[in-house]
Structure 1
Amino acid sequence: MKRRTLLLSGLAGGTALLVGFGVAPPRARLGKAGTLPARAGEIGLNGWIKIAADGTVLLAMNRSEMGQGVHTALAQLVAEELELASLERLLLIAAGHDSLYGNVAMFIGQLPLGPRATEPGHETPLARLGAWGIAKLARELGINATGGSSSIADAWEPLRWAAATARQQLLGAASLRWKLPLDELQLKDGMVSHPSGPRAHFGELAQEAALTPPGEVQLKSAAQWRLIGKPLPRADLAAKVKGTARFGIDQRPPGLLYATVRHAPMLGGAPGAVPVDTALQQPGVLRVVQLGPYAGSQPAIAVVARTSWHALRAARALDIEWQARPAGAVDSAQIASALAEAARRAAADGFAFVSQGDAAAALARAPKRIEALYEAPYLAHAAMEPINCTAQILDGRVEIWAPTQVPGLARELAARIAGVAPDAVTVHVTYLGGGFGRRLEIDFIGQALRVALETRGAPVQLLWAREEDMAQDFYRPAGAAWLQAALDADGKPTALQIGSAGDAIAPRWLERVLPALAGPVDLPDKTASEGLFDQPYAIAAQRIAHLATRHPVPVGMWRSVGHSHNAFFIESFVDELAHAAGADPLAYRLALLDGLPRHAAVLQLAAERAGWGQPLPQGRAQGLALHESFGSIVAQVIELSLDANGRPRVHRVVCALDCGIVVHPGIVAQQIEGAVVFGLTAALFGRIDIDAGVVRQRNFNDYPLLSLAQTPAIETHLIDSERPPSGVGEPGVPPVAPALANALFALSGERRRRLPLF
């Protein structure tokens, strides 16, 4: 079996890994022609590609579109190898639930390895072995998930191999039919032809192609690419501009009923006595359904009515006797205090992800020591499309329409609740009006299925009010870090010790959605410490440890996960070290990036394009930050001023990015721009406060988003690379907060160590 290489990156910020797959090369993920059900006139060539009678290429789409452009970029890979002139001759279809469509790259990203262990061409044996083992496990599990900025990395070789194999089958079929040499045939924009005259479109050759061995298959070289690297029109653009795009909330199957849900106002609470008769007297109300805890949700009450307005109005009017959490009310201020104390002892008591040299001894004898406590609050996802799911149970079959990032897990939960086999469940993945990790959860799908059991075969759309979404989220965990560094006489760090504290994210998620993989004892959670243990700077002695806590606040994946706050901790602290050393922040970082030329190149590019060190207008300052996550390296320079009230006005954000080969530069720029807006929102305003068990923030009036008027000019500069693609959707978020804080310090001399900054 021929040995090939595949670069993969992962869910919660794992660095890219170059892995030799001697056992299962990319061809092993082709699947069979019968994997895709063939309708009239359609011919399957492998598990990814069918050909319609008119020659249209049908691509099995296994990733959810939530604005990140994945439907365009993945289609681009296939169109490239099939020599299509554009995406117009390619149609996306649902991928189904075969394990073939599982996300391998997402799981490889869970390996707790830093950049010096995984730098391409210099991987350690442990990195290679670990990635190989995790990849084998992920292929067996076959979990289809859109997350971790992993979609392109995961599809990069399998999808191109699928298309290239189909190409060779089509050419081979034409060669056999016309009895002409294969190397004389031309394939272009859905047609196979020969200079002597014979021509046929894909549909005319498909049946013979399905029976034709592909022979030797080769991927196109970069010099041959015509579509990869080009900013093609997005596949979802027309529908979203015209208003014809169908999100979860837009589904309207015949006979649709509506339901809304009310949870206890306090975390951990539950409904007591419910005035059902009173609710049923409300206009349009049909029934009241008691909901148990599904995939991490709290027990709740659902009101079913003929319209969403009737359901919402009746639910709000219910005078329910709520039962408080038996163990007492939750208080975020108390949790923050406990986390700060835990962070101070985490270096000794926590799990050490990195331990090299004797950091404690180096700190004790250092001529100068810098130490600081950094803190971050809980954050909500606040996706623009409200939580919703439409479900129908009829004649032993279940049909679901949902904006979900994990259709396979949704299917398994639905089958358990409805008491049917998984094969009796169909999940229609709609467009997602924002995900940010919230739709990696399936609690709302469980609730919709429970209501559908009561509607006697009628479809029902479950909808959460915004206030329910804000108060019943799986929040980005609050966290704290106690950072200590020893500086020599020249201000160079000789030791770095970090103790961080915060709730484990991955174990809680597994308990909710994949209980079979959740153990009785938590393993060390890489997602909680990522961005700290894998920081890139060369410091001789290091001890970086995390103390996992478990507070009664539900936590989950939030865009860029642990990197979202840990980058703020480490990159703000490195800025403190540069200031203590009397050094320029850029030069100080570059001196510590020995052996990591890609990191240095990204940092230098951002600084150069931002005019770092050049005179600025009066009253302005710049701050910078560098961070690697999801296999990609991002540097940002933020330029700001303060208004008359002392509030920041961000004028410009310059981003440099090494994300490997760029499939669609326009989408990359859009993702970075969205990440900057998302990161600025969190850094300036984002916080969830819990008082007496109740979340104080209820809607966008007290959980504000960055407005258009507040949005700065955002520039994206890409590093040319020959490395396979890595993550894009999330890496732009982590550097925002530290670059902003560092700019504030440069302007005002005030070091802010707690988020949000204002």
Structure 2
Amino acid sequence: MKRRTLLLAGTAGAGALVIGWLAVPQRSRLGSGGLLPPGEGQVALNGWIKVVEDGGVVLAMPRSEMGQGVHTALAMLAAEELDVPLRSVRLEQAGADAIYGNVAMLAGGLPFHPLDSEKEDGFGRAKAARWVVGKLARELGINATGGSTSVADAWEVVRTAAATARASLLGAAALQWKLPVDELQVVDGVVTHPSGKSARYGELAKFAAATPPGEVKLKERAAWKLIGKPAPRVDVPAKVNGSAVFGLDVRVPGMKFAAVRLCPILGGSPGRVDGTAALRMPGAERLVMLPAYAGTAAGFAVIARTSWHAMRAAAAVNVDWQPHARGTVDSAEVDRALETAVREQDGFAFHGRGDVPGAERGAARVFEAWYHAPYLAHMALEPMNCTARVAAGRVEVWVPTQVPGMARDVAARVAGVPADQVTLHVTLLGGGFGRRLEVDYVAQAVRVAMDAGGAPVQLVWPREEDTTHDFYRPMQVARLRAALDENGVPSSLHVRSAGDAITPRWFARAMPMLAGPVDLPDKTTSEGLFDQPYGFANQRMEHVSTRSHVPVGFWRSVGHSHNAFFMESFVDELAAEAKVDPVEFRRRLLKDAPRYLAVLDAAARQAGWGTPLAPGRARGVALHESFGSVVAEVAEVSLEQGRPRVHRVVCAIDCGTVVNPGIVAQQMESAVVFALSAALSGRIDIKGGVVQQRNYPDAPLVTLARAPKVETVVVPSGRSPSGVGEPGVPPLAPAVANAVFALTGRRLRRLPLSLDGEA
């Protein structure tokens, strides 16, 4: 990593270095053409764009495609500014340079209330902090696909890179033809002049590489031809014809296969290991012991001729598994400990205003409710896998990952080679949801490949290992309390939650060089609680950070996924206490939050809120902001054999400027089904340190036959793009729970939702 510092005159020491570093302008993310390896007939115009002789364009792609449509969205940004058809844009995996880092993801981790940030004039506290973190993020260059930030991060840099390339190409034509550049036009990658002169981009590329771009202007919104309109996804044809390459599809000549088996007791390790009988089985070749890499459990892998042979042999190894010296974990005990922490400990206050204790003392009554959320596994359809080859001091890795830079670094550390001796190929991801922000399986694959005599090895986790050795969404407990007057109108809101912090654990696993000895407050623990938009006059939102010794990680929509359930269920309870319609109650609390109110109204209108429903059905509503986007969902629910059945979900979203409305609708549909599966049956139970759920039958997903009809309403916005992949998840569970209350009068305060009291 390159660092730039500037010492100010008359100063010295660390403070001066920091001040000097802050004084240096932010690093440009455009990059030089030297960052892109030239292919035949290709000319690089900057670190993002190459032009091909046939007129095509190559875009450096730093983000991972896991079904969210990022390859299409970023290609659309480039095509728009270059004035080429979308089909002309080809994608090439970006390299390891810092310009490809995800600046928006790090800046999004700052714990500022969105309404406070929007009210700032000029360079306020939140904007200043985002500038500093953005500058640091540019220097670190952490390449990650997560936090629903891919389009938000690319919005300026990809368009600027494409517009700069276009300016150089037009400048080259103007110089060659000796004509004013403002008289030139571009249509579908062909530069023309009214005199009849014309040239394709490919004909101008070499001259353009040596031509300064001059003034670069991004297109005005009114001139957009692609952005904001539906466009076919660029990844669909390959997925339909079978040529798409996911991690499990990788095939390299001479490849062997390996299957892992890890200690089933969380925190435990293998004692005596006897692989004699296993290695006598057909196809089995070698047993490799695996330490606890990057936060995962210790265990072993068996190398074999095929993955089937490897899995059978691994299952046949005789192992004496040993628990951790500190003992074992039980999720029921963790749940009780979290409730005790909420009762007895003060937490870190992420947000506060007014006088909550005073409001409670003067209230007619104080209304309180407790909510619980379980551990959750990611359950991605494609299990963890990685293919690696270690030979002649070099490492080559093929992997479905959300963090290619970190995967490259851990591969280098395990193999004991410099990072520049690692070649990493990012495949398509068969689901990520945050699980592939981890690099444990990459470390294991490289270690196994080191014992394979130079042959490439594809390491695969059987589904049971994948489910029982995840980095789970943390269990969380929250107490919400409101001071009410004699009419049930709230004057305060006090929230205290407890649960493990994800971010410090993740840094310690994935980037140990950045993990400090002290845990700083983690925004993910309280997001969706401290940053809610409702106008309670007095507020205090605090969190007690705990350490359960259960491996926890980022799960689609992270803390919002359970905190929205807590908050929006409680707001519905307050509406019932005030005897006010749930939508109208929220409207009254949103008078200073017009953006949120517009989304709520859009969802209510589309859903027909207040209109009659068929007997046995009811509607529930929830509103939530996450990753910069506001989503309201209305769920239409009935009961079938005592269980909620969701028939229809209306999603209204304000996600800023929309690049491709078709992808927005797809992601809302995906989020609803994903969240509904978790809301109805998602849970991880741990007994004696052992995860009880092992495969999909233990945590069923919503099937096509039971999937609701999903309608998406996009609320127009002139803001920059914000998240889409995750914001549809948080409102679903509370909307369903609130509909169940409307049907039955029963409040469901524990996930997964159940009317039998067993959940």
Q: Secondary structure at the match of 1:320?
A: strand
* 2:362 is equivalent to residue 324 of structure 1: no
* 2:34 is equivalent to residue 30 of structure 1: no
Residue by residue, what CA displacement relative to the aligned partner does 1:635-663 show, whole Å, maximum 9, x if unpaired?
000011112x2111111100100000000
The alpha carbon displacement at 1:179 in A equals 1.1
Q: Is the 8 A contact 2:285 2:304 kept in 1?
A: yes
* 2:418 is equivalent to residue 421 of structure 1: yes
Residue by residue, what CA displacement relative to the aligned partner does 1:273-325 show, whole Å, maximum 9, x if unpaired?
11132222111111100001111111111000011111000111112111112
1:642 to 1:145, Cα distance in 2 relative to 1, 3 A:
same
Q: Which range moved further: 93-102 or 324-333? A: 324-333
* 2:639 is equivalent to residue 642 of structure 1: yes
Q: Is the 8 A contact 1:360 1:497 kept in 2?
A: no
Residue number among 676, 680, 698 corresponding to 1:680 in the alignment: 676
* 2:60 is equivalent to residue 64 of structure 1: no
Aligned residue in 1 for 2:19: none
Residue by residue, what CA displacement relative to the aligned partner does 1:523-552 show, whole Å, maximum 9, x if unpaired?
011111110011111111111100000001
Aligned residue in 2 for 1:96: 95
Aligned residue in 2 for 1:700: 696
Residue by residue, what CA displacement relative to the aligned partner does 1:355-411 show, whole Å, maximum 9, x if unpaired?
222212211221021101000000000000011000001221111000000000011
CA distance in 2 between counterparts of 1:322 and 1:407 reads: 33
CA distance in 2 between counterparts of 1:92 and 1:321 reads: 48
Q: Secondary structure at the match of 2:541?
A: strand
1:411 to 1:211, Cα distance in 2 relative to 1, 3 A:
same
Q: Is the 8 A contact 2:635 2:735 kept in 1?
A: yes
Aligned residue in 2 for 1:359: 356
In structure 1, list runs of 5 or more residues that go unmatched: 1-20
CA distance in 1 between counterparts of 2:119 and 2:176 reads: 45
Task: Letter of the 1:60 partner, please give it.
Answer: A
Aligned residue in 2 for 1:709: 705
CA distance in 2 between counterparts of 1:259 and 1:282 reads: 14
The alpha carbon displacement at 1:40 in A equals 3.1
CA distance in 2 between counterparts of 1:608 and 1:118 reads: 29
Aligned residue in 1 for 2:485: 488
Residue by residue, what CA displacement relative to the aligned partner does 1:413-445 show, whole Å, maximum 9, x if unpaired?
111111111111111000000000000000000
Task: Letter of the 1:439 partner, please give it.
Answer: R
Q: Is the 8 A contact 1:44 1:210 kept in 2?
A: yes
Report which structure shows greater RCO (CA 8 Å, sep ≥6).
1
Residue by residue, what CA displacement relative to the aligned partner does 1:71-99 show, whole Å, maximum 9, x if unpaired?
00000000001111x22111100101000
Aligned residue in 2 for 1:160: 159
Q: Secondary structure at the match of 1:204?
A: helix
Residue number among 492, 517, 531 corresponding to 1:520 in the alignment: 517
Task: Letter of the 1:29 partner, please give it.
Answer: R
The alpha carbon displacement at 1:490 in A equals 3.5
Aligned residue in 1 for 2:55: 55
Residue by residue, what CA displacement relative to the aligned partner does 1:451-489 show, whole Å, maximum 9, x if unpaired?
011011100000000000000000000000011100123
Aligned residue in 1 for 2:77: 77
Q: Which range moved further: 693-702 or 363-372? A: 363-372
The alpha carbon displacement at 1:23 in A equals 6.6
* 2:588 is equivalent to residue 594 of structure 1: no
Aligned residue in 1 for 2:448: 451
1:508 to 1:123, Cα distance in 2 relative to 1, 3 A:
farther
Residue by residue, what CA displacement relative to the aligned partner does 1:507-530 show, whole Å, maximum 9, x if unpaired?
000010011111111001111111
Residue by residue, what CA displacement relative to the aligned partner does 1:579-625 show, whole Å, maximum 9, x if unpaired?
00111111111111122100000000100110111111111110100
Task: Letter of the 1:729 partner, please give it.
Answer: G
CA distance in 1 between counterparts of 2:490 and 2:23 reads: 42
Q: Is the 8 A contact 2:475 2:499 kept in 1?
A: yes
Q: Secondary structure at the match of 1:288?
A: strand
* 2:233 is equivalent to residue 234 of structure 1: yes
CA distance in 2 between counterparts of 1:711 and 1:343 reads: 36
Q: Is the 8 A contact 1:117 1:124 kept in 2?
A: no
Q: Secondary structure at the match of 1:229?
A: coil
Q: Is the 8 A contact 2:388 2:397 kept in 1?
A: yes
Q: Is the 8 A contact 2:98 2:140 kept in 1?
A: yes
CA distance in 2 between counterparts of 1:726 and 1:452 reads: 40
Aligned residue in 1 for 2:139: 140
Alignment of 1:742-753 (within 5 A): 742-753=738-749
Aligned residue in 1 for 2:732: 736
CA distance in 1 between counterparts of 2:538 and 2:180 reads: 64
The alpha carbon displacement at 1:123 in A equals 7.6
1:399 to 1:238, Cα distance in 2 relative to 1, 3 A:
same
* 2:248 is equivalent to residue 249 of structure 1: yes
CA distance in 1 between counterparts of 2:333 and 2:530 reads: 27
Q: Is the 8 A contact 1:401 1:429 kept in 2?
A: yes
CA distance in 1 between counterparts of 2:50 and 2:263 reads: 49
1:597 to 1:123, Cα distance in 2 relative to 1, 3 A:
farther
Aligned residue in 2 for 1:435: 432
CA distance in 2 between counterparts of 1:357 and 1:101 reads: 43
Task: Letter of the 2:589 partner, please give it.
Answer: L
TM-score normalized by the length of structure 2: 0.95
1:706 to 1:124, Cα distance in 2 relative to 1, 3 A:
farther
CA distance in 2 between counterparts of 1:256 and 1:123 reads: 58
Q: Secondary structure at the match of 1:295?
A: helix
Residue by residue, what CA displacement relative to the aligned partner does 1:76-134 show, whole Å, maximum 9, x if unpaired?
000001111x2211110010100000000000111101122122776881111110111
CA distance in 2 between counterparts of 1:732 and 1:64 reads: 20
CA distance in 1 between counterparts of 2:261 and 2:230 reads: 44
Residue number among 535, 539, 542 corresponding to 1:542 in the alignment: 539
Aligned residue in 1 for 2:6: none
CA distance in 1 between counterparts of 2:53 and 2:171 reads: 18
CA distance in 1 between counterparts of 2:581 and 2:78 reads: 46
* 2:502 is equivalent to residue 505 of structure 1: yes
Aligned residue in 2 for 1:15: none
The alpha carbon displacement at 1:244 in A equals 1.2
Equivalent residues, number: 733
Q: Is the 8 A contact 2:277 2:316 kept in 1?
A: no
Could you tell me the percent identity over the aligned residues?
62
Aligned residue in 2 for 1:125: 124
Aligned residue in 2 for 1:6: none
* 2:649 is equivalent to residue 653 of structure 1: yes
Q: Is the 8 A contact 2:67 2:430 kept in 1?
A: yes
CA distance in 1 between counterparts of 2:121 and 2:610 reads: 34
The alpha carbon displacement at 1:22 in A equals 10
The alpha carbon displacement at 1:24 in A equals 4.9
Q: Secondary structure at the match of 1:232?
A: coil
CA distance in 2 between counterparts of 1:120 and 1:494 reads: 22
Aligned residue in 1 for 2:340: 341
1:70 to 1:120, Cα distance in 2 relative to 1, 3 A:
farther
Residue by residue, what CA displacement relative to the aligned partner does 1:313-364 show, whole Å, maximum 9, x if unpaired?
0111112111112211211111111111212234xx1111112222122112
Task: Letter of the 1:235 partner, please give it.
Answer: V
CA distance in 1 between counterparts of 2:25 and 2:472 reads: 37
- CA-atom RMSD in angstroms: 1.3
CA distance in 2 between counterparts of 1:516 and 1:91 reads: 36
Task: Letter of the 1:532 partner, please give it.
Answer: L
Q: Secondary structure at the match of 1:603?
A: helix
Q: Is the 8 A contact 1:117 1:123 kept in 2?
A: no
CA distance in 2 between counterparts of 1:684 and 1:345 reads: 31
Q: Is the 8 A contact 1:344 1:481 kept in 2?
A: no
Q: Is the 8 A contact 2:527 2:560 kept in 1?
A: yes
* 2:44 is equivalent to residue 44 of structure 1: yes
Aligned residue in 2 for 1:401: 398
